[in-house]
Structure 1
């Protein structure tokens, strides 16, 4: 059973539910892309339409939204041809999902 989504509380303990809550709260031009199994983060990228694949484009700027520490921490990531990441970790930390998504949107807009 899914937990109730409350944007003012701690991240949802169920990984899939938190990832879905992030996905549901994203503005129209941001999309959740790849993630790895049970890791507590979602990779978010700016695209004009829903991606046909969860894989990043070569050179695509992404924001990783990580909630493993009980709050939402943003890191910058860029995909290369081998789908590995170059990251700037811990760019900002936020008390609510909404604040983290707003900051992710701003980071991608600044790119």
Structure 2
């Protein structure tokens, strides 16, 4: 049995702080490459002293967003990116944000 974990799949986020102003909006970048024809992209938020928490998922056919993030957080899946936009920025939005790509697994028997 051979497993291919998509060695050519990559996710890249910008490094460093993104500065926003209370009441304004900010966009966090997430670029990816994958051989998957229907990639699943995820955004997570990690507040100080907490583990990462699932926020939303985007794929070609559907969207899923946790209720508490539906109002101000949005991500649009493009061909090679899924930027996260935060509207009406609040002080409590100060956190670390992670973008992740679902692994593509091919099993050959």
Higher RCO structure, 1 or 2 (CA under 8 Å, sep 6+): 2
Higher relative helix content? 1
